[in-house]
Amino acid sequence: MRIMTTAQRLTLLLLATGAALLHPAEDRERGDVPGWVMITLMSAVLVAALLAIAGPALEGLFNQAIDQVSP
């Protein structure tokens, strides 16, 4: 199983956000585009920071749980 790195996840999120902005909507009432882009990017940075801090601990917990289940 291949696990994506934080940089790969952030790159994928930025590409998806950029693609969404390049395709204009049919109606002109799209709302506050800079606002939702800012919220999306801030959320991605928050997730990346939490993953960087808690990643090793979560990996240890996961491995410990798998070891208990495996025969």
Give the tens place of pLDDT for each residue, 34-46: 878 889 999 999 9
How high is the pLDDT of residue 23?
63
Other beta carbons within 10 Å of 52: 10
Split at pLDDT 50, 70, 90, the class of 57 is very high
Is residue 55 within 8 Å of residue 43, measured between CB atoms?
Answer: no
Residue-wise pLDDT for 6-54, tens only, equals 777 778 777 777 766 666 555 556 566 687 888 999 999 999 999 899 9
Nearest to 10 by CA among 46, 56, 53: 46
Give the per-residue pLDDT at 20. Answer: 64
